Amino acid sequence: MRFRAVAILVALSVAGTLLWANGPHEAFSGRILFSAQRFPVSAKSPASSTAALRKQAATSFQENKASKNWKIYFAAFLKSKLAGTEYTLKIYAIDRGKNTLLATLPQFTDSRGQDALLSALTLERKEFGVNRELLIDIEAQGKVLAAGRLKILGEGEKYSGKVNFNEN
């Protein structure tokens, strides 16, 4: 039941076909790139699209203080094409070298055979915590097709360290 609650909080758009030539796919095969803004879907040449993706990619994201979440765009370059239209997005917390599964989200593309996915996700503070390193991977038919790491940063809880036993 926990994953159902997280699936509602993590909003993913439908992955679309990318219009890039082979340049970015060769450079980023098996990797997921993250950004605070949407990635471009076309460029003048394969080299310029690869350079633009590299420049825009980020690994650390600041929390939106008003909404207490992180909106993160991603471009995933799969090691092999999707056989069907379904894939699974898994989110792990990396704590002291140990990966703890936080969410498993089944997703669907609009067509078969895609080798790159472009989408966005929103991570809620109450489900994913703050000041954590996350590993996100995309799996299909039991195989990891792409993975990437990012840090979600924000202001942690503040405690005074004082205890008042007189309050009821």
Say if 162 falls within a structural domain.
no
- Closest of 150, 101, 144, 105 to residue 15, by C-alpha: 105
165 in a domain, yes or no? no
Q: Is residue 168 part of a domain?
A: no
Q: Please report whether residue 164 resides in a domain.
A: no
Which residue from 82, 75, 77 is spatially nearest to 29, judged by alpha carbons? 77
Query: Would residue 95 count as lying in a domain?
Result: yes
| In-domain check, residue 53 | yes
Evaluate whether 13 touches 122 at the Cβ level (below 8 Å).
Answer: no
How many domains is the chain partitioned into structurally?
1
- Could you tell me which of 53, 58, 48 has the C-alpha nearest to residue 28? 53
CATH number at residue 67: 2.60.40
Range(s) of the domain holding residue 143: 2-153
CA 161, CA 130: separation in Å to the nearest integer?
20
With respect to residue 74, please indicate whether it lies within any of the assigned structural domains: yes
Residue 108 · residue 86 · CB < 8 Å: yes
pTM equals 0.80
List the structure tokens of 39.
């990635």
Q: Which residues of 134-145 are buried (b: 16+ CB within 10 A; e: fewer)?
A: bbbbbebeeeeb
Tens of pLDDT along 97-132?
A: 789 999 999 999 888 888 899 999 999 999 999 999
> Is 135 inside a domain boundary?
yes
pLDDT score for 165:
75
Average pLDDT over residues 32-50: 87
